[in-house]
Structure 1
């Protein structure tokens, strides 16, 4: 058996794919290149122009690539922020229309310039009309997501992606054979009815199912997958490409999933397995001689790239004139709408694989290769420009003015009056006797400061029979741990009300108890659950962060909280979560008469006046606290944010961080500096998370 026939075995082909997905992206990310580029190159190397280990025509590759293609569009629908769209609906539709029509016209002109048919030219235009929010993590890190220009661009995504897929469906239908005005009307009517059924029917069914199943995450996960594939199959039945159904399914279950752990699992499965398989298959389809020939006659590729970049700029410029945005806002809108990844690549592959009865493809290899070059250029150019221009955006403080901070650090008079009837309550889940002392001390310090009480909580795993000897033993051990917490609490002269709960799920047991006790804060110890198991099933911390009704402070305390004298709070933006972290640090500092340092690490290219303005805003926020705490602002310029934080933290006893997760609309996780900081910090840590975040 030769090497190529040996690799045709499904299990071997799947093993090769897993090896590629596991090893290649991290290597390219270390080289400061997108992991997707590595997957494309790996497909070329392993395909028919290279080692011939993988064949794009094999059933295994076809199945995994098809699943990856529809998963990519499903996640794109999931990641559209419907709340942001609702806030700026009219302007989002306005900019969405501009950034859809102008590239569409430019693409049609490019196609006709190179003698493509009208149908193929319109299809090329639709490929340029959508965009992928690859640079969203950058504007989020800079704290400018609330800027109207950013929210309008985010909201426009729903319009551009939907419009592009609609044009794709029509072009594919026309290319398939006889296509009259009646058949076009039938297709559009069927698509409209189908869209309503999916968007409203799946949304209703999902909410009903989730309400009835409660905590059964496995069944909820399967329901979401079933909705995805049902929508994809339904789209094919009415004569529309399946990625259209997948995108509609993503929009439909968007509200259902919210920020739930099930959404994290759905995205995780796609981002680590199916979507990478799609990109490897894209690499397998690249014919090296044809690709070189395309680049040698570079005009088609050059015209498509220039048409995209120029048309997106024109759309952003027209939006600037229409809505009176400044230059920084215009450039940010342009750079955010540049990257062409999710919808563009999926639609390109569909168009390339669409063959009419005469054996002609809807688009040729030249267009396919040009779009791949376009993806590489815009995926790098868009985020780079965003990182440079978004720093000049005005930080919107409207949320702070109109959105009352209802969390426990809000010291308004209304809150103080309410506290007389509902005392400040801290839930402290305990499990490890070796670490629980520092945990209880932390809760007791805060509880005493707020004139509240602490509720040490022991969760005991439920058994079918309540007289099970193992359950009896576990309850006795819980009582012993709670007795120790009572002794520690008395040292701090704070009210303590120990509680034992029998529950199947530790995380939900914590959240339910905190709700029953009307808790103001949950203070937890650090979870050691890491790696693949935690990513697949989630850790207790992840679940409590999501399900809790109040803020959650996860601690890794290396010494007694009573000895803390210097507290570091890294500040990357001015969101509500950041203010919560600052208030938390100030309360701890007030207890110990400690110092708080707010550290902002800015890019070396950030203009000095912008750094000064950010520092002034930080100073105002710190000064609004009613506590007399020594709070200082420190700004440092550096390219590696995580490394600067880790270096500066060596001088401090405690670092207060906030929990943040970012994902791109392409479904691929984007690492955040918090991950590296948590791994390498040598001091004590508090990781603060808000409800449902």
Structure 2
């Protein structure tokens, strides 16, 4: 009687034409979630069941050919890579100890109980029992896309589970590598001596080279296709190097995600491209391929054939549940947290497939048809249970999690981005996506204002503005963010911006901090920005970005004394926190000793996982010393104030000049917070740039200083 392996090798599928094969696969990816979604079956399970239906052991429509092996391998790597890429590294640092504790539990309990059940109940050999115990101990984040859809990827339970996944996967595959090496005829003492050396060299190379290589490439090239190909090349290079070191490629993909994590902001176009391609093609291909391997007909072989499979399935699922229950009890998590933890760590797919394929390899010869069928049934049942448990836990936690109102800041209006230069469109749009309020619809708006002088030049400027807005919309759409646009003509540029702020109730404005020209006063940011500041008390951010925001590693924030008394204090602080959270970079706050407790308290209550430092700055003039701490991978945020308000200082008058002289090498944002009252200054509508009729008040000392230094 032919074995399952022989059937897999000799089956002839009904559909062999590549075009029709790809069409059927796309049809499954499209229709399986839609049809089974009506039955409330998770789409992950639907794809596995669809693979069983069309595979060799079902209707035999498709064979698991090289395309499924290739795309499935990419899908396995993609799952591990995205799991690491979507990690909040601040949360990992915060919950890393708990994650390692859970990893030790969810590895040790299944490994020990699994080895005992295989050795004493099923009477497998010692090494075969070790391989099966590694299958029980390891798990794959198959249901992680469900967590992402509920927006729970940074929840503490999810972070702990992902850290535990890294631990169990590494430990299990390390043991498998040792067993495989012991079975190889060419292994020697030198092989075992070199193994830890190769592993250490691999880890050191990835940690030291990949971040520098990635940051340099992403700074130099902003084309979305090139960035995507580059990131994927790093992932597969890491996987290939891991295999050379004697590890599994899964660990290499996960390692690549960890080191690239800080280079790809969560809401960036690059992140959207990575998730889209993986979730639309590679991961579904992998899940369909898993279903095609499962031989349901083996269940009809009688009690003698069914008993070992039931033992394997029960051991694999129950041991993971025991570990999750113990961790939830010790960590103080409720029932929903336990179900989510169990769902994420219960699915045996990628690691189990890798281990069983190693076990049935003729050079190893530790597994046969019984263990193969049992493992395939374990994959099916564990994925079914994992999808249901993850969906139940994630849905319940999402409903009971923190309400959006607690994190909206002091004002809920649109974020208005004013475009004037072509080379700044991408950076300004990416930054606006980072700081916008994600809890309100249509929170992003682009504006271009052209001077209307009734000439052909005015029409040309209007067309140029439309091109800028189209480019901004493409950048926002690539990040899956909707941006409204307005291209208007005005006899006064600042007036056009101010009218837009009022008409569309914009809460904050981002403008380009242009290079200074000869004859510009030291106190001026340019006539347009100056008059927008005079004509509105909404938050204004004047930005000069020299590198894409995703390549920033640190944000330095300087705050003047008494800034906590301004009405917009917590609003701009929330914007800075959103930027740090999305970029996963370090925040350094330099402020007066009386102001720092307010900042630290807000950070601990609202953003406890953010990496932040708090340094007292007794005198405002000390902020100039920060020029020695800044570089291309740093952004300097200077919080200032409009004249006449409580945190305003006369030293603010020459801020634009000092920024130009001392900080030309770094990205800079001058931030003017929301402030009380209505502006009293008027704007002259007859000047193209809106030169104000009134000027900001200055002291005699300040006037004399400017007179003699200009």
Q: Identify the residue that residue 226 of structure 2 maps to in structure 1.
A: 219
How far did 1:353 drift? 6.0
Q: Identify the residue that residue 37 of structure 1 maps to in structure 2.
A: 45
Find the partner of 1:122 among 127, 130, 150.
130
Q: Name the CA distance, whole Å, in 1 between partners of 2:244 and 2:117.
A: 33
How far did 1:45 drift? 2.6
**Is contact 2:295–2:373 with CA below 8 Å preserved after alignment?**
no
Find the partner of 2:25 among 17, 37, 43.
17
| CA pair 157-66 structure 1, distance change in 2 beyond 3 A | closer
Return 350-359 or 23-32, whichever deviates more.
350-359
Report 1:29-178 matches (<5 A).
Answer: 29-56=37-64, 58-112=65-119, 113-131=121-139, 151-177=159-185
Q: Identify the residue that residue 416 of structure 2 maps to in structure 1.
A: 427
Q: Does the alignment pair 1:202 with 2:210?
A: yes
How far did 1:250 drift? 2.1
**Is contact 1:352–1:363 with CA below 8 Å preserved after alignment?**
no
Q: Name the CA distance, whole Å, in 1 between partners of 2:504 and 2:193.
A: 76
Q: Identify the residue that residue 245 of structure 1 maps to in structure 2.
A: 252
Q: Identify the residue that residue 274 of structure 1 maps to in structure 2.
A: 282
Find the partner of 1:231 among 238, 244, 253.
238
Q: Identify the residue that residue 269 of structure 2 maps to in structure 1.
A: 261
Q: Identify the residue that residue 410 of structure 2 maps to in structure 1.
A: 409
Q: In the TM superposition, what whole-angstrom CA distance separates every residue of 1:594-613 from its partner, at most 9, and x where no partner exists? A: xxxxxxxxxxxxxxxxxxxx
**Is contact 1:458–1:499 with CA below 8 Å preserved after alignment?**
no
Q: Identify the residue that residue 561 of structure 1 maps to in structure 2.
A: none
Q: Identify the residue that residue 287 of structure 1 maps to in structure 2.
A: 295
Report 1:521-670 matches (<5 A).
Answer: none
Q: Identify the residue that residue 680 of structure 2 maps to in structure 1.
A: none
How far did 1:134 drift? 6.8
**Is contact 2:114–2:136 with CA below 8 Å preserved after alignment?**
yes
**Is contact 2:56–2:292 with CA below 8 Å preserved after alignment?**
yes
The TM-score with structure 1 as length reference comes to: 0.56
| CA pair 29-392 structure 1, distance change in 2 beyond 3 A | closer
Q: In the TM superposition, what whole-angstrom CA distance separates every residue of 1:261-318 from its partner, at most 9, and x where no partner exists? A: 2122112111111111112222222234324438874333333333234433443455
The TM-score with structure 2 as length reference comes to: 0.54
Q: Identify the residue that residue 633 of structure 1 maps to in structure 2.
A: none
Q: In the TM superposition, what whole-angstrom CA distance separates every residue of 1:36-82 from its partner, at most 9, and x where no partner exists? A: 222223223322234433221x3333322222232233223323443
Q: Identify the residue that residue 474 of structure 1 maps to in structure 2.
A: 463
Q: Does the alignment pair 1:189 with 2:190?
A: no
How far did 1:474 drift? 0.8
**Is contact 1:144–1:150 with CA below 8 Å preserved after alignment?**
yes
Q: Identify the residue that residue 311 of structure 2 maps to in structure 1.
A: 303
How far did 1:498 drift? 11
Q: Name the CA distance, whole Å, in 2 between partners of 1:286 and 1:136.
A: 22
Q: Identify the residue that residue 551 of structure 2 maps to in structure 1.
A: none
| CA pair 183-283 structure 1, distance change in 2 beyond 3 A | same
| CA pair 36-355 structure 1, distance change in 2 beyond 3 A | farther
Q: Name the CA distance, whole Å, in 2 between partners of 1:142 and 1:266.
A: 18
Q: Identify the residue that residue 35 of structure 2 maps to in structure 1.
A: 27
Q: Name the CA distance, whole Å, in 1 between partners of 2:448 and 2:576.
A: 20
**Is contact 1:103–1:128 with CA below 8 Å preserved after alignment?**
yes
How many residues matched?
473
**Is contact 2:143–2:344 with CA below 8 Å preserved after alignment?**
no
Q: Name the CA distance, whole Å, in 1 between partners of 2:205 and 2:532.
A: 42
RMSD: 5.3
How far did 1:481 drift? 7.0
Find the partner of 1:382 among 358, 378, 389.
389
Q: Name the CA distance, whole Å, in 1 between partners of 2:211 and 2:101.
A: 26
Q: Identify the residue that residue 458 of structure 1 maps to in structure 2.
A: 448
Q: Name the CA distance, whole Å, in 1 between partners of 2:13 and 2:353.
A: 29
Q: Name the CA distance, whole Å, in 2 between partners of 1:479 and 1:173.
A: 70
